[in-house]
């Protein structure tokens, strides 16, 4: 029989043992040499936010069939925890071999902390479209495998346009006329929901290529050199026109309290005729109403006769951890994904970033193909220092609630200066 | 001393977990507040008190300080007034009162993240049930953009938080009220005191211990509110609901300024410490007198 004293001792020892085993973490699978990685069985860790590139699980199966000696440990992380999780792992030296990254300047923190490696010599680099190359590169080096290309455009309800006898507007005054006709018919011209802060950026990003970059491609470089600021630039007119749409009553009521979901619902139910959104979101609207007839046209923020430039951006799929113990296997994985058959599955329903991978995007998005050939500019957050985009969100919200445009642009200028320090 | 060795052993695991996951990170925050760490680099750079200097000159910090106190004070008052009022009504032992005490506790048992999302939907100006109900009874001129109107947004968020957590206050008050000897009320009744008099002269002074606990706890809770604001307005519209906790998150995770964010965290810690100490000292004095 156990005496009380013995029980106490056993209990104490067990609890300490339990604690210690929970604390320790064994790192397995790192014993193989990278020199003969193709022969020895290897496991590579891959991390992706769970709301993107959802066909990866299927592609991973295909990859493992093709390369039986490489096993993939795939981690589809909940989106809002993704960045924190990966950053923590990288900071502690335990980062995944491959992980999803953003484009443009958002790669800088990872490059500066030596967490991702350059992939310039990979065979798929030469097959990238200009937009894909731009998204994946920084300072002349390629750092990631690009995936799908998105555009910001005006999605519109074709049935409403037909009923009201409307045609696609080719310049800003026509756009305002179309909006007025829709308003007069009792429908909402443009669905907008600024409660979800990231929605604030869509219209400015859609305006900027035509308003600034078509004629002044060097604008951003000049900003970095301190020769240009948001204050005193076409941004003043852009924000005034953005607010002007609200003042003319072209948006739904209570824009500040409406969320992204409500925007989609207004489009899906036919209460709203148009909305400025990013192309992957069309799927969500169709999901709410499979019968709906949708089209997309670029926001015609131009004077009559001028060329419209489209806002576009390519998302990256994966970058390779600079400290990976299996660089060969990781690069083989990227090469596999870049093959046309696989890339088509990966970007299903979107525009491709590779010249030899045909785009099989939603037919509504394909309507903008011609416009995109005339001219595009990347989505602005990929070239700004990372302090500016969040400041744009609050700046637009403040302008819509009465603050002056000049003050809002000054905040963005201050954020820009802070970001380049 | 020998008889404390075995209990100490049993406490050791919990102490180790607490130290590892709470004390060490807090000390870590103190350290990082003197660096310009971005959350990714392996070695943070020491920059002395620069973060704290920037903090003092940062307009958004002062603005969020104001929002922090606005939210905390209204939350504290709202929860305590509602909690005490309901406790007075529900302190008895009839089955109705017992059932209602449990009933009001139900929001407390739900995940506050889930509750915040649901309030989001309720507050939606187009499809939300609040505006819908107002319209259907013909009061559509009272419909509001609950979370989008810069004047209303803070109060909408505060209301949902009070709805969820006032029951805890109420329970503590019920316990405090039940501890007041009944014969005091009888004596007062004989002397001809009305209900109001009895409350002011007997109930309120004698419920002071429960009052202290509730005021201090709700104030600390109110000063730190993050999750509900994050889900409902994310600091918007235009920053009117951004308190220090939200600002901290934005600086540390959105702007990647972990060092600056840590400095804000330290300032929050000091503010909460000072406010709580003051509250305890002042309220404790009341208890002793009575």
In chain A, how many domains are there?
2
| A289 secondary structure, DSSP code | -
Q: Which H helix or E strand runs over A174?
A: helix A172-184
- Residue range B74-103, pLDDT digits in tens: 999 999 999 999 999 898 889 999 999 999
As a whole number, mean pLDDT of residues B125-154 equals: 90
Q: Which residues span the domain enclosing A373?
A: 150-313+365-419
Position A200 scores a pLDDT of 94
In a domain, A136, yes or no: yes
Instruction: Indicate the Cα dihedral angle B238, B241, B243, B245, nearest 10°.
Output: -90
Position A30 scores a pLDDT of 41
Cross-chain Cβ contact A257/B127 below 8 Å: no
A54 touching chain B per CB within 8 A: no
Count CB neighbours of B263 within 10 A: 28
Position A155 scores a pLDDT of 95
Q: What's the CA gap between A133 and A156, in Å, rounded?
A: 30
In a domain, A3, yes or no: no
Which chain A residues contact residue B256 at CB under 8 A? 109, 386
- What chain B holds in terms of domains, given with CATH numbers, is 50-289 (1.10.3720.10)
In a domain, A12, yes or no: no
- Residue range A185-212, pLDDT digits in tens: 999 999 999 988 899 999 999 999 999 9
Q: Are residues A43 and A133 in the same domain?
A: yes
Q: What's the CA gap between A240 and A256, in Å, rounded?
A: 17
Tokens standing for residue A213: 């970059």
pLDDT value at B1 more than 80: no
Position A7 scores a pLDDT of 60
> For A80, which residue in chain B has the nearest alpha carbon?
B253
| B251 secondary structure, DSSP code | I
Q: Are residues A46 and A131 in the same domain?
A: yes
Q: Are residues A97 and A175 in the same domain?
A: no
Q: Are residues A266 and A172 in the same domain?
A: yes
**Exposed e or buried b per residue across B167-198, where buried means at least 16 C-beta atoms within 10 angstroms of its C-beta:** bbbbbbbbebbeeeeeeeeeebeeeebeeeee
What contacts A297, CB < 8 A, 6 or more positions away?
Answer: A153, A154, A156, A168, A169, A367, A368, A371
What contacts A113, CB < 8 A, 6 or more positions away?
Answer: A90, B38, B40, B41, B42
Which chain B residues contact residue A109 at CB under 8 A? 38, 40, 256
User: What CATH number is given to the structural domain containing A309?
Assistant: 3.40.190.10
pLDDT band at A8 (very low <50, low <70, confident <90, very high): low
As a whole number, mean pLDDT of residues A217-222 equals: 92
pLDDT band at A53 (very low <50, low <70, confident <90, very high): confident
Cross-chain Cβ contact A390/B253 below 8 Å: no
In a domain, A73, yes or no: yes
Q: Which of residues 228-257 of A touch B (CB under 8 A)?
A: 252-257
Q: What's the CA gap between B132 and B8, in Å, rounded?
A: 59
Q: Are residues A233 and A177 in the same domain?
A: yes
The pTM of this model reads 0.82
Q: Are residues A401 and A336 in the same domain?
A: no
- Residue range A351-396, pLDDT digits in tens: 888 888 888 788 888 888 888 888 889 999 989 998 999 999 999 9
ipTM over 0.95: no
Name the nearest CA neighbour of A106 among A344, A389, A382, A337.
Answer: A382
Tell me which of A195, A200, A396, A398 to substitute to probe the interface with B (most B C-beta atoms closer than 10 Å).
Answer: A195
Q: Which H helix or E strand runs over A276?
A: strand A272-278
Cross-chain Cβ contact A84/B253 below 8 Å: yes
> For B9, which residue in chain A has the nearest alpha carbon?
A12
A113 touching chain B per CB within 8 A: yes
By Cβ distance, the residue of B41, B237, B256 closest to A386 is B256
By Cβ distance, the residue of A113, A256, A401 closest to B41 is A113
- Lowest mean pLDDT, pick from A78-92, A116-130, A140-154, A206-220: A78-92
Omega into B46 within 30° of 0, i.e. cis?
A: no
Q: Are residues A215 and A309 in the same domain?
A: yes
Which chain A residues contact residue B20 at CB under 8 A? 23
State how far residue A296 is from chain B, nearest Cα, in angstroms: 25
In a domain, A16, yes or no: no
By Cβ distance, the residue of A19, A257, A403 closest to B16 is A19
pLDDT value at A421 more than 90: no
Which chain B residues contact residue A266 at CB under 8 A? 126
Q: What's the CA gap between A416 and A410, in Å, rounded?
A: 10
State how far residue B287 is from chain A, nearest Cα, in angstroms: 41
State how far residue A93 is from chain B, nearest Cα, in angstroms: 8
DSSP line for B169-231: HHHHHHHHHHTS-HHHHHHHHHTT--HHHHIIIIIHHHTHHHHHHHHHHHHHHHHH--HHHHH
pLDDT value at B289 more than 70: no
> For B117, which residue in chain A has the nearest alpha carbon?
A259
- C-beta of residue A245 within 8 angstroms of C-beta of residue A402: no
Phi, psi of A368 (to 5 degrees): -95, 5
**Exposed e or buried b per residue across A328-361, where buried means at least 16 C-beta atoms within 10 angstroms of its C-beta:** bbbbbbbebbbeeebbbebbeebbbbbeebebeb
| A255 secondary structure, DSSP code | G
State how far residue A221 is from chain B, nearest Cα, in angstroms: 22
**Exposed e or buried b per residue across A155-191, where buried means at least 16 C-beta atoms within 10 angstroms of its C-beta:** bbbeebbeeeebebbbbbeebbebbebbbeeebbbbb
In a domain, A11, yes or no: no
Q: What's the CA gap between B225 and B69, in Å, rounded?
A: 11
The DSSP bridge partners found for residue A373 are: none
pLDDT value at A27 more than 50: no
* Per-residue CA distances from A302 to A171, A246, A276 (Å): 5, 19, 16
Q: Is the dihedral of CA B54, B59, B64, B65 positive or negative?
A: positive
pLDDT value at A238 more than 90: yes
Which chain A residues contact residue B124 at CB under 8 A? 257-259, 262
Q: Are residues A188 and A225 in the same domain?
A: yes
Position B288 scores a pLDDT of 64
State how far residue A375 is from chain B, nearest Cα, in angstroms: 31
CA A115 to the chain's CA centroid = 21
State how far residue B153 is from chain A, nearest Cα, in angstroms: 9
In a domain, A217, yes or no: yes
In a domain, A13, yes or no: no
């Amino acid at each position: 029989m156990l005496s009380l004293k013995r029980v106490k001792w056993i209990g104490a020892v067990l609890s300490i043992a339990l604690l210690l085993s929970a604390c320790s973490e064994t790192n397995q699978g790192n014993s193989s040499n990278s020199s003969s990685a193709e022969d020895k069985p290897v496991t590579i860790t891959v991390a992706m936010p769970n709301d993107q590139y959802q066909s990866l699980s299927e592609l991973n199966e295909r990859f493992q069939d093709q390369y039986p000696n490489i096993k993939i440990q795939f981690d589809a992380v909940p989106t809002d925890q993704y960045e924190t999780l990966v950053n923590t792992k990288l900071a502690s030296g335990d980062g995944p071999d491959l992980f999803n990254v953003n484009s443009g300047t958002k790669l800088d923190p990872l490059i500066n902390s030596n967490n991702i490696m350059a992939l310039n010599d990979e065979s798929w680099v030469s097959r990238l479209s200009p937009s894909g190359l731009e998204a994946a590169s920084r300072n002349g080096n390629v750092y990631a495998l690009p995936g799908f290309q998105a555009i910001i455009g005006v999605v519109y309800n074709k049935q409403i346009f037909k009923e009201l006898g409307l045609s696609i507007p080719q310049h800003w005054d026509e756009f305002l006329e179309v909006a007025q006709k829709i308003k007069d018919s009792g429908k909402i011209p443009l669905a907008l929901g600024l409660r979800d802060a990231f929605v604030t950026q869509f219209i400015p990003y859609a305006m900027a290529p035509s308003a600034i970059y078509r004629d002044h491609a060097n604008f951003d470089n000049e900003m970095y050199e301190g020769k240009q600021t948001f204050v005193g630039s076409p941004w003043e007119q852009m924000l005034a026109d953005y607010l002007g749409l609200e003042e003319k009553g072209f948006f739904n009521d209570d824009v500040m309290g409406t969320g992204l979901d409500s925007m989609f619902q207004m489009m899906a139910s036919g209460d709203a005729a148009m909305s400025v959104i990013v192309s992957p979101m069309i799927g969500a609207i169709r999901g709410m109403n499979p019968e709906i007839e949708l089209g997309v046209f670029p926001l015609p923020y131009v004077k009559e006769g001028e060329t419209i430039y489209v806002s576009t951006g390519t998302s990256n799929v994966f970058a390779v951890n600079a400290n990976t113990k299996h660089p060969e296997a990781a690069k083989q994985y990227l090469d596999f994904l870049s093959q046309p058959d696989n890339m088509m599955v990966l970007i299903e329903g979107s525009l491709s970033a590779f010249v030899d991978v045909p785009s099989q995007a939603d037919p509504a998005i394909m309507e903008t193909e011609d416009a995109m050939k005339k001219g595009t500019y990347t989505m602005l957050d990929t070239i700004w220092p990372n302090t500016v985009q969040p400041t744009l969100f609050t700046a637009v919200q403040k302008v819509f609630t009465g603050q002056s445009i000049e003050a809002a642009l000054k905040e963005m200028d201050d954020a820009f200066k802070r970001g380049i320090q | 001393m020998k008889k404390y060795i075995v209990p100490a052993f049993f406490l050791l695991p919990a102490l180790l977990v607490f130290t590892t996951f709470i004390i060490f990170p807090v000390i870590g925050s103190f350290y990082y507040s003197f660096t310009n760490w971005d959350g990714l680099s392996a070695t943070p750079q020491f920059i002395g008190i620069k973060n704290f200097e920037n903090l003092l000159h940062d307009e958004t910090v002062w603005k969020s300080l104001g929002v922090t106190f606005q939210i905390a004070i209204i939350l504290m008052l709202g929860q305590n007034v509602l909690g005490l009022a309901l406790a007075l009504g529900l302190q008895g032992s009839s089955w109705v009162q017992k059932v209602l005490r449990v009933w009001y506790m139900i929001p407390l048992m739900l995940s506050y993240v889930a509750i915040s999302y649901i309030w989001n939907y309720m507050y939606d100006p187009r499809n939300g049930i609040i505006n819908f109900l107002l319209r259907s009874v013909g009061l559509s001129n009272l419909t509001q953009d609950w979370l989008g109107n810069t004047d209303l947004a803070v109060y909408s968020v505060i209301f949902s938080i009070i709805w969820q957590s006032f029951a805890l206050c109420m329970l503590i008050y019920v316990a405090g009220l039940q501890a007041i000897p009944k014969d005091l009320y009888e004596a007062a009744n004989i002397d001809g005191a009305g209900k109001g008099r009895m409350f002011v002269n007997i109930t309120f002074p004698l419920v002071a211990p429960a009052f202290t606990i509730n005021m201090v706890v709700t104030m600390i809770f109110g000063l730190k509110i993050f999750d509900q604001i994050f889900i409902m307005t994310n600091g918007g519209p235009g920053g009117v609901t951004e308190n220090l906790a939200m600002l901290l998150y934005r600086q540390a995770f959105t702007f990647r300024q972990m060092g600056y964010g840590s400095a804000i965290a330290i300032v929050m810690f000091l503010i909460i410490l000072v406010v709580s100490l003051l509250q305890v000292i002042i309220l404790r004095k009341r208890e002793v007198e009575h």
